[in-house]
Amino acid sequence: MNSNALEKILRGPSGLGTSGLNPLDWSAPDTAAEPPEGATAVGAAVGAEGATVPQGPVPPERDGAPEPGRPIPGLYYHPVPEPDPERVAEVSRRVKAWALDEVQLYPPEWEDQFDGFSLGRYLVVCHPDAPSIDHLMLATRLMAAENALDDLYCEDHGGSPVGLGGRLLLAHTALDPLYTTEEYRPHWEESLLADAPRRAYRSAMDYFTEAATPAQSDRFRHDMARLHLGYLAEAAWAETEYRPQVWEYLAMRQFNNFRPCPTITDTVGGYELPADLHALPAMQRVIALASNATTIVNDLYSYTKELAAPGHHLNLPVVIAEREDCTDREAYLKAVEVHNDLMHAFESAAAVLAATRPDPAMLRFLRGVAAWVDGNHHWHCTNTYRYSLPDFW
Ligand X SMILES: CC(C)=CCC/C(C)=C(\C)COP(=O)(O)OP(=O)(O)O
Establish if 260 lies at the interface with ligand X (CB under 6 A): yes
Considering only residues 139 through 168, tell me which ones interact with ligand X, judged by CB under 6 A: 143, 146-147, 150
Establish if 261 lies at the interface with ligand X (CB under 6 A): yes
Helix (H, G, I), strand (E, B) or coil at 68: coil
Distances in whole angstroms, Cα of residue 52 to Cα of each of 56, 344, 352: 12, 11, 20
Establish if 298 lies at the interface with Mg ion (CB under 5 A): yes
| Residue 227 binds: one of Mg ion, ligand X, none (C-beta under 5 to 8 A by kind) | ligand X
Q: How far is the CB of 376 from ligand X (least distance, A)?
A: 10
Q: How far is the CB of 253 from Mg ion (least distance, A)?
A: 10
The closest alpha carbon to 339, from 74, 126, 8, 81, belongs to 74
- Judged by beta carbon, residue 88 or residue 351, the one nearer ligand X is 88
Considering only residues 169 through 228, tell me which ones interact with ligand X, judged by CB under 6 A: 227
DSSP 151: I
Residue closest to Mg ion, measured at CB: 302
Provide the residue count of the chain: 393
Helix (H, G, I), strand (E, B) or coil at 46: strand
| Residue 27 binds: one of Mg ion, ligand X, none (C-beta under 5 to 8 A by kind) | none
Establish if 302 lies at the interface with ligand X (CB under 6 A): yes
Establish if 27 lies at the interface with Mg ion (CB under 5 A): no
| Residue 267 binds: one of Mg ion, ligand X, none (C-beta under 5 to 8 A by kind) | none
Query: Cα 350 vs. chain centroid, distance in angstroms?
Result: 18
269 touches 135 (CB < 8 A): yes
| Residue 260 binds: one of Mg ion, ligand X, none (C-beta under 5 to 8 A by kind) | ligand X
Helix (H, G, I), strand (E, B) or coil at 62: strand
CA atoms within 13 A on the CB side of 354: 26
Query: Cα 360 vs. chain centroid, distance in angstroms?
Result: 23
280 touches 362 (CB < 8 A): no
Stretch touching ligand X by CB under 6 A, among 37-45, 254-262, 346-354, 371-379: 254-262
Within a 10 A sphere around the Cβ of 276, how many other Cβ atoms?
9
Stretch touching ligand X by CB under 6 A, among 5-13, 59-67, 250-258, 371-379: 250-258
The contact set with ligand X (CB under 6 A) reads 143, 146-147, 150, 227, 256-258, 260-261, 295, 298, 302
